[in-house]
Structures are given as C-alpha cells and as structure tokens.
Structure 1
Amino acid sequence: MPQAAEGGHLAGTAAPAAEARPWGLALALLAGMGTLFFSSYGLANWLASQRAAVPYFHFAWERHIPFVPWSIVPYWSIDLLYGLSFFLWRTRAALLTHVKRLLAAQLISVACFIAFPLRFAFERPAAGGLPGQLFTLLGGFDKPFNQAPSLHISLLVILWVAYAMHARGGWRWLLHGWFALIGLSVLTTYQHHAVDVPTGWLVGWFCVFLFPFGAREDAAGPAARARTHRLSLRYAAGALAAAALAWLALPGSVLAALLLGWLALALGCVAAIYRRGLPALFQKRPDGGMPMAARWVLAPYQLGAFANLRWWTRRRPQASEIVPGIWVGRFPGAAELRRLGADAVLDLTAELPRLVPAAVAYRCVPVLDLTVPPPAQLDEAVSILDAWHGQGRKVLVCCALGYSRSALVAAAWLAVRAPGEPLALLRKGRPQVVLGADSVAALADFIGRRQAAQSSGGASHAGRNE
C-alpha cells in the first residue's frame, strides 16, 4: 500500500501562498503525454505485429484465472485517473516530478516492448453488454502485445502514490480498494500474464524512487566523489553480473531470472548513489524511515547488507560500552536495544531502514558505507550525541558493523569530552574498530576545528574584558 507522504511531508500540498496552481501547464503536459502515450504504445504494437512469430510466456496455473467481464471497468478507469492526476498538484515542481515519473515508466516499458516483445497466449471469451462494448473499444488500439513489464501496473503504482498523497479518512480506503481492483483487472480481463505484473510493479516503484518529491540538487565535493568512485565501480560490476545471471537463468527458471534482475536493478541504483557520493539519494529520513519506493527497489541489496552485517558480527560483541552510558555497535534490532538497556540510537547508516521501536529516541545522520562523513555531518552527529549524554540517556552509536562510521563519531565525541587520546580510549573499549587514514584525518580535522573555535572564542571573550 503506497504511503501518503514522501520525505516526511506531503509533497505538493504545502505550496507557498503566492504560487497559483499550474492549471495551464498541467493541461499542456497532459496533451503532450497523451500524444506520446498513444504514439509510442502504438508503435511498439505495430513493430511486434510485423514479426513472423512473437513469443509468449505463462505459468500453467494461469489457465485457472477466471475471465471477469465487469473488471474491464476498473481496468479502463486508469485512463481517467491518469488524466485527472495532472491537476492534483499545487506547485509546478510537484507536477513536473509526477510527469517525470509517468514519462520514465512510458519510456522504460516501450523500450522493453520493442526489444523483447511478448504476446498474450489465451483466447479471450466473448463478453456482452457494456463490458463487451468496452472490450471492443479497447481492441481498437490495444493488440495482444506489449506485455512485460505491464505499463498498466507501472502507471498504477505511480498514480496510486499520487492519489494517496491527497486522500484522507475513508476516501483513502476506497482509493486503496479501487486501485487493488485495477491491479487484479489486468489478469481477469485477459490483458496480461502473471509475469507482467511484478515486472511492471518494479518499474513503477523504480520511477517513483528515481524522482522523489522535494529532491535537492546538492552535489558531493570532488574529494567525496573520489572516495566513492571505486565503490561505485564495484556495485556496477555486481549489477552487470546479476543481469548476466538473470539472462542465463531465464530459459530454466523465470522466477530466478526475475529475482536476479531485481538484484541487478538494486545494485545499479546503489552504484549510481555511490557514483554521485550522496547518501541522501538513499532517501532515509532523520527518523530512520525510508519511503516505500526505496524499500521496494533496494530490497535485495538491503537484505544482503543486513545478512552481511549479522554474519560478520555473529561471533563478536554486538556493541561495546566506550564510557558509561555510551555504546558503539552494529545496526540494532529491538531485542539488542533491550539487552543493552539503551534508550537512544544515533544511526550513521544511509542504506538500512530503522528497525528499533518508536519509543526509543532516534536520529539518523546518513553516511555512505565505507566512507567518511563530511565535517558538517560529523559536527551534527557529535552535537546530537553530546546533547543526549547531557540528558543522561544511554546511547548506542551504530553503523552497519559498528567498526567505522560509528567509531569515528564516538572518537570525535571523546575528543571533546575526554581530551587526550580518543582513539586509544575507543580501541580499548572496542578493539574491532577499523579507522583508516581518511577517518584519522577527519578526526584530526575535527579536533583542529574545535581547538580553533575555542581559541577564537577565548580571544573574543578576553577582548571584551579589556
């Protein structure tokens, strides 16, 4: 079920009072997108019809799916919902984000239809009355091609998210029920086979993930990009390997091919995030939540990352107390927090959604794995930790393994609270920490900036006393 909000707010609903609704732009974009939809969709249909033989794929159990003539009504309704969706938005920026999602879904799907055409294999039974008329109208332009990924399902996801952002109360449940009927209708109208549904679903969520509402155009500095470039290449290589395995698995197991393709997409997205060096592209909020689009698209990567951190820390301390009330450890679940007695979590991961209960004080300062936080993030994390310690909270500072990102933050905090040898004190409490040259340099820079600020503050204070 799509979430009503993205990025912690209802995008497109908090417009500045001075900005008028972009009615004219919405109408122009609707006309352009409608023209593109029918022309590109028709082109893919025509190209498939020119082939001597177009393959098909379905599972044996699909022959037991009933043909439900009246379900053509919810099937057709997506066209009306598509058109109206252009007029939901109060701001130009929100409208353009929505259109980018629709356009991306169209381009990705049509490219697949042309490159790998499939056809529907069953003969549709005759239908009478209004359903029969709607089927006849549909058959005028929609031929039995353009199967996987189902563009109908991709658009369904994008529109579901859009309308859910604006629906309230009982209307939300009506909305979810109707959109669920639309999703089922692609099968009960004999328009698509089952394999088309998950592929269309994933394309839809990928488009939502690709264009989040309220996205900032920040860019990482050259130094940060240099650190993440090599990691990006590794993830890209993994994505290519998973895609190749998916292709090889296709003749033997469609399910295996789908799962491997999903993994390839997830790793490709992670490679792009590391290429830009921006942890914000994981879309993890300060409260640790992640939008549904990120969870769907990145699920194979996140499951792998979680399994990896549990494996590497299975025989080592999950968390270590550095000083009374301050632990450094791995990404926790609720049970681990209960064992520690911690009532606050400072999370340095960008890649994993929050697992701890809402009752625990929580703050995420997202940092890419195997990288060093920039000075602003390090300052922010230390300030949060210092405030919680001052309140008497028992704090767990965590990253994936509890060896690097969290260790650097703890060392920086120790440099403020216990000047002297913060790294020695940290390693005494948690010998497993791994702080490379970049981390040590970041710690030295943090200490230097703090000392400079204190010196400047002391000089200003002395000047005022003279």
Structure 2
Amino acid sequence: MGIGISGLVALKGAAFILTFIFLKNLGFTKLSLPFLYTSLISLLISLASHPSINLPILLGKNGDGTIPIWSKIMFGPYIYLVRVFCAMRRWLSGEEPYTEVFEGVYVGGWPSSIEKLPPGNPAIVDCTCEFPRISELKGLAYLNLPTWDTRSPQPGEIESAVKWAMRKRALNKPIFIHCAYGHGRSVAVTCALLVALGVAEDWKVAEKMIKEKRPYIRMNSLHRGALEEWSKDRISNPISTNKHM
C-alpha cells in the first residue's frame, strides 16, 4: 500500500512545522504563522485519513458534491494543494482523463472541466472527498462516496454505488466513476459494477480487464479487501450481459 495519504500529509506537516520553527527563530514571527497553521491542518488530516479512524466527512463535502465555504477556508492548505498536485501529475503523465472499460462504463480522474467528462451526459459516481463537483456538471445524475485518497469506499458504499449505477444503466445512461486520477478508489467501484453487470466473473477478473485498457491503475490492499468483503456480502446479483456488445 505504500506510505499512504496519512504518512504523506504527516511528512508535509513536519516540513511545515520545521519551516515555522526556522522562521520564528530568525525573528520572522508573522511570516512563520501560516506555516504553523498549515502544519496543524496537515496533522489533523493525517489523523482523520488514517485507516483506523477514516473520517472523510472532516472536509464537509455535501451530498451534491459541493465543498462548503468554511471547509475551503479551514482546510484550504490541503484542498487547493491537492488540486495543484492533481493538475501537475496529469500534465506530466499524459494519461487520458477517462477510459471506457466496457460499453457505456467509464473510469477516470476528477473532471475539473466539462472537457474531461465522457460523452453522453453520464451519471457520475464521485469517489473523492477532497474535490468538488464543478458547477457545469450539476444537471447530471450524481452520487458521492466521500473517500480519502489511497483509501477505499466501504463494502456497503460499494454496494450502494453498484445498485445506483445499475438503475442508471437501465435508463440507458453511461456511467462515469471517478476519483482523483482513476487509479484506485474509482477502480474498486468499477470492478464491482463489472461483476454485477455480469461482464466479469469476480473482481480480480474485472481488475485485469480494466488494467488492459487503463494500464496505470493501482489498487492497494484496502481496495482489494473491501472488494473481497463486498463479494461475500453483496445483495446485487449479476445480470445477463453480452460481453461482446
């Protein structure tokens, strides 16, 4: 699983607290205060995103995908940093913003603009807690599963998303499942949907199918563990689907 978001944010917080101490010792007290604040926010997010705590509701993202103004102010050092990092990473990787993994089923990264949205006015499953739903997408069907980066939606949340997506599919709507980059959180939910649609025998087969079309996906032990639990307890039954459609 690697260091994960908790470790990365904690390291960032440590760097900021050291910068605060350095500037304060030089006599730049006012200049050092933003670094102190950022370090404290980083510590709070590091704790809230740890698997043993896992509180994505900390950022206050609403069910309609909006992030309230109080959260933007309080957690601005984190919220806006991840947007900058996301844009830089996408630009450097050159990866497509989304990939069609089965007819009408897309997985990808945060649609920061309408141009990064799949065609056909898709129903959107948003697996992030740190990115807002942009205003241009507010007319589209939308479901949010607020989840920290490198973490996984819970099995019950995966099941809810699968049933929601299948209802939208029954209305002939494309489905777009996204997280920050379309590598982890969204892939876990997409694996479950492919199983429920009868396209894949199990989530492991679904993962291989997705990786063939989106090579940079990277699920970790938390994603796989949630899928394993979902597989044992799920209510949604596979439907008959022609795999060669």
TM-score band by shorter chain is 0.7 to 0.9
2:88 equivalent to 1:311: yes
Aligned-partner residue type, residue 200 of structure 2: P
Q: Is the 8 A contact 1:385 1:395 kept in 2?
A: yes
Helix, strand or coil at the partner of 1:295: helix
* Structure 1 pair 272–445 and aligned structure 2 pair: CA distance change class (3 A): closer
Separation of aligned partners in 2, 1:234 and 1:433: 20
SS at match of 2:62: coil
Per the TM alignment, residue 258 of structure 1 is displaced from its structure 2 partner at its CA by 4.0
Between structures 1 and 2, the one with greater helix share: 1
Deviation string, structure 1 residues 130-185 (Cα, Å, up to 9, x no partner): xxxxxxxxxxxxxxxxxxxxxxxxxxxxxxxxxxxxxxxxxxxxxxxxxxxxxxxx
How many Å apart are 1:377 and its aligned residue? 1.2
In structure 1, list runs of 5 or more residues that go unmatched. Answer: 1-226, 455-466
Larger Rg computed on CA atoms: 1
Matches within 5 A, 1:426-445: 426-445=210-229
2:242 counterpart residue number: none
Separation in 2, partners of 1:335, 1:253: 44
Task: Count how many residue pairs are aligned between Structure 1 and Structure 2.
Answer: 227
Q: What pairs up with 1:55-454 in 2 under 5 angstroms? A: 231-250=5-24, 251=26, 256-275=31-50, 276-314=53-91, 315-337=94-116, 340-357=119-136, 358-417=138-197, 418-420=199-201, 421-450=205-234
- Which residues of structure 2 form unaligned runs of 5+? 238-245
State the one-letter code of the partner of 1:330: G
How far 1:366 sits from its partner (Å)?
Answer: 0.7
- Residues 275-306 of structure 1, C-alpha deviation per residue, up to 9 Å, x if partnerless? 42121222111111122221111111112111
Is 1:381–1:409's contact at 8 Å kept on the other side of the alignment?
Answer: yes
CA contact (8 A) 1:228 1:277 kept: no
| Counterpart residue type for residue 264 of structure 1 | S
Q: Is the 8 A contact 1:242 1:264 kept in 2?
A: yes
Task: Work out whether residues 326 and 395 of structure 1, in 8 Å CA contact, stay in contact via their aligned partners in 2.
Answer: yes
Kept in 1: contact 2:98–2:118 (CA 8 A)? no
Closer/same/farther in 2, CA of residues 376 and 264 from structure 1, 3 Å limit: same
Query: Normalised by the size of structure 2, how large is the TM-score?
Result: 0.81
CA 1:236–1:438 in 2, change beyond 3 Å: closer, same or farther?
closer
State the Cα deviation string for residues 11-64 of structure 1 (Å, max 9, x = none): xxxxxxxxxxxxxxxxxxxxxxxxxxxxxxxxxxxxxxxxxxxxxxxxxxxxxx
* Residues 422 and 233 of structure 1, relative CA distance in 2, 3 Å threshold: closer
- Closer, same or farther: CA 253–317 of 1 in aligned 2, 3 Å: farther
Alpha-carbon distance between aligned partners in 1 of 2:118 and 2:152, rounded to the nearest angstrom? 29
Q: 1:338 to 1:426 in 2, by over 3 A?
A: closer
Please tell me the residue identity of whatever aligns with 2:164.
Answer: I
Partner AA of 1:432 in structure 2: Y
Q: Residues 338 and 240 from structure 1, CA distance in 2 versus in 1: closer, same or farther, beyond 3 angstroms?
A: closer
In 1, Cα distance between equivalents of 2:148 and 2:192: 18
SS in 2 for 1:369: coil
Any conservation in 2 of the 1:333–1:356 contact (CA below 8 Å)? no
Q: In the aligned structure 2, how far is the partner of 1:271 from the partner of 1:360?
A: 33
Residue 242 of structure 1, CA deviation: 0.5
State the 1:414 CA deviation: 0.2
Matches of 2:89 and 2:21 in 1, distance apart?
A: 31
For the residues of structure 2 that align with 1:395 and 1:284, how far apart are their CA atoms? 21
User: Letter of the aligned partner of 1:273 in structure 2?
Assistant: A
Q: CA RMSD in A?
A: 2.7
In 2 relative to 1, CA 390–429 (structure 1 residues): closer, same or farther, beyond 3 Å? Answer: farther
Q: Which amino acid is the alignment partner of residue 271 of structure 1?
A: S
1:367 is paired with a residue whose SS is: coil
Helix, strand or coil at the partner of 1:327: strand
User: 2: distance between equivalents of 1:333 and 1:234?
Assistant: 23
Deviations 1:251-296 (A, max 9, x none): 4766753442342232122123124212122211111112222111
Distance in 1 separating the partners of 2:228 and 2:121: 29
